[in-house]
Amino acid sequence: MTVKDIFKNLDGVEKILIKNGGENAIDRSFFYLSQVNGGLFEGSSIIADRDHIQMFVYELEEQTARSTEHEVHVAKSSAQMNDMIQRELRGQTKIGVNKDSLTVNMFESVRKTTGNAELVDVSRNIAEARMIKDETEIRKLREAARISSEIYDASMNHLKEGMTETELSAYMVYLMISNGASEPSFSTIVCFGSNASEPHHSPGNRKLKSGDFVLTDYGAAFERYHADTTRTSVFGRATEKQKEIYSIVFDAQKSSMNMIKQGVNGRDVNAKSYEIIDSSPYKGMLMHGVGHGIGLDVHDHPAFGGYDFDLKKDMAVTVEPGIYIPGYGGVRIEDDVLVKNDGFELLTQKPPKDLIEVS
């Protein structure tokens, strides 16, 4: 990653201001530019030009900030922070800001700090730069995917009749942290039985019984980079219908995944899974895009759906078709891949071809 990548096609913008908010207004691009692994950096900012990056932080994060190669300015109060940023931006007529990550209050604060300068939205430029991963980012994604893949068997071996979705979710988080994850990428989704028909089900007190689908959507984060994996099994003996659904989803995922390489249109990758599922007895039971980018955000750019974009080398994306039958259950299979010139690198472990029956 180079800062110059963000400045491409930005006419007249010489400096970019990235303002990181609190827990509910985190700007991942702050961490993209700074490359710091620790710290919260609430209320901190970055000012970047084409050649270097300056960090404006509070005393709480001074030590972590100084572990980077960037110029660091330390404030003791919000007033001092605003004064330092104001001085650095004085004389600028156009300043780039990441509007996608600014709350209304934060935007008003930025407007006050930058005075009469024109604020230019650079969120698209940042997103496009972040889509292409460098070697450091790829290393982190590989490690996150490795941790996610390696805890699955232990999770399934932990299944027992009568346990709740919440219990399995907590155990999977424990396994991820124990195996080197910084944290879970998101709230671990566990669905038993008919709950597997809800793509974003929140685990609850549903108890596991024989014949239930067990759908787990989870991921490990490693140094702020995220994996995102989904597997589906059955506790006990699977029915022929359950096996059929799994087989169709597996074929859809494999077919879409095998299309992935530089230059392929993302719309076509998405359409392939829909084509296979909609030609089966389960037409209309896939209702989401079949993948998305991964990186500093779990759902990063790009997103597979009904629009055009070309896959590029070193994009990291998921492929995750599913079939969801209300009142019955569902199957989703999700893996993480890295786009290559003539194909892809599978970051997560290869999914099983046949539906796993956990006894």
Check whether residue 143 and residue 125 sit in a common domain. Answer: no
Residue 1 clears pLDDT 80, i.e. is over it? no
Q: How many domains does the chain have?
A: 2
Identify whether residues 226 and 320 lie together within a single domain.
Answer: yes
Closest CA to 32 of 103, 119, 128, 148: 128
The predicted model gives 126-130 an average pLDDT of 95
Question: In the structure, how many helices (H) and strands (E) does the chain have?
Answer: 11, 20
> Above pLDDT 90, what percent of the chain?
91
- Average pLDDT of the residues in 111-131: 93
- The H or E element spanning position 192 is strand 189-192
| Pairwise CA distance, residues 18 & 96, whole Å | 8
What is the domain range of residue 200?
A: 135-358
CA separation, residue 263 to residues 6, 267, 268, 308, 312 (Å): 22, 12, 11, 11, 6
Write out pLDDT tens, residues 203-212.
999 999 999 9
Indicate the pTM of the whole model. Answer: 0.95
For residue 252, give the DSSP letter. H
The CATH number linked to 349 is: 3.90.230.10
Please provide residue 234's backbone torsions phi and psi, each rounded to the nearest 5 degrees: -130, 135
Query: Is residue 125 located within the same domain as residue 178?
Result: no
28-55: pLDDT as tens digits: 999 999 999 899 999 999 999 999 999 9
Mean pLDDT of the chain: 96
Q: At what angle are helices 240-257 and 266-278 packed, to 10 degrees?
A: 160
Looking at the fold, whether 124 and 169 belong to one and the same domain comes out as no
| Burial state string for 2-11 with b = 16 or more CB within 10 A and e = fewer than 16 | ebeebbeeee
- Residues 215, 333 within the same domain: yes
Whether 175 and 315 share a structural domain: yes
The pLDDT confidence band at residue 329, using thresholds 50, 70 and 90, is: very high
- Domain end, chosen from 111, 131, 151, is at 131
Cα separations in angstroms, 74 against 46, 176, 241, 287, 291: 12, 35, 62, 48, 41
Q: pLDDT tens for residues 238-266?
A: 999 999 999 999 999 999 999 999 999 99
How many Å is the Cα radius of gyration of the chain? 22
Entry field: residues in the chain = 359
Based on the fold, state whether residues 126 and 201 are members of the same structural domain: no
Q: How are beta strands 94-97 and 118-121 bridged, if at all?
A: parallel
Using the 3D structure, point to which of 131, 154, 173 is the last residue of a domain. 131
Ranges assigned E (strand) in 257-350:
292-293, 300-303, 316-319, 322-325, 329-332, 335-340, 343-346
> Are 296 and 159 part of one and the same domain?
yes
Q: Report which residue type is found at 260.
A: I
- Last residue in a domain, options 93, 111, 131: 131
DSSP 3-39: HHHHHTT-TT--EEEEE--STTS--HHHHHHH---S-
CATH number, domain of 124, equals 3.40.350.10
Q: Determine the Cα–Cα distance for residues 339 and 311; give it in Å rounded to an integer.
A: 7
141/72 same-domain check: no
Residues 102 and 168 in one domain: no
> What distance in Å separates the CA atoms of residue 338 and residue 141, rounded to the nearest whole number?
9
Q: Distance between CA atoms of 273 and 248, rounded to whole angstroms?
A: 9
13 and 146 housed in the same domain: no
Inter-residue contact 322 to 282 (CB < 8 Å): no
CB 309 within 8 A of CB 315: no
In terms of domains, do 139 and 37 share one?
no
